[in-house]
């Protein structure tokens, strides 16, 4: 049961990181749209966090699959597939010369990703609290039965 709590603590930290990385990318794209930052700086900032985001998301999705948590896995599987497809076709990095042409599509893609990450965040919070309460209740009843308070 303690492993379940550790999984949900890891998932909590991972989802927070995914939300932060996606929000950072979205802010950079918005700054570029309003001409607060130049295209080179924007693409270099976004490209620096793309691969770590893909790795964290892939490891989290694989951990849900390996621990038989089907519902969170099925929510994250389409984005994982999209990330793998982008990485295999070498379209995961933003090109400086085409960033203005792809700006609206990239923003929409990241808004969809952040909404999926928020939905998985709600599930992770619920399961984290549920597993912590169940773990504390199991330990509490065990100590009462043994006579040690």
Tell me the domain boundaries of the chain.
2-146
120-132: b or e for each residue (b if 16 or more CB lie within 10 Å)?
bbebbeebbeebe
pTM above 0.75, yes or no: yes
Q: What is the pLDDT of residues 26-42, one digit of tens each?
A: 999 999 999 899 999 99
Backbone angles phi, psi at 63, to 5 degrees: -70, -35
R_g over Cα of the chain: 20
pLDDT, tens only, 80-97: 999 999 999 999 999 999
């Amino acid at each position: 049961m303690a492993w379940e709590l550790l999984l949900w603590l890891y998932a909590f930290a991972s989802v927070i990181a995914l939300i932060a990385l996606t929000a950072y990318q979205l802010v950079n794209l918005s700054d570029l749209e309003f001409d607060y930052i130049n295209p080179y700086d924007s693409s270099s900032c976004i490209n620096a966090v793309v691969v770590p985001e893909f790795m964290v998301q892939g490891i989290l999705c694989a951990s849900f699959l390996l621990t038989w948590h089907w519902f969170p896995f099925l929510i994250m599987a389409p984005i994982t597939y999209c990330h793998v497809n982008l990485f295999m076709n070498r379209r995961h990095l933003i090109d400086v010369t085409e960033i203005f042409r792809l700006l609206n599509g990239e923003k929409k893609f990241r808004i969809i990703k952040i909404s999926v990450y928020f939905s998985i965040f709600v599930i992770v919070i619920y399961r984290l609290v549920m597993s912590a309460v169940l773990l504390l209740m199991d330990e509490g009843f065990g100590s009462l039965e043994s006579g040690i308070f």
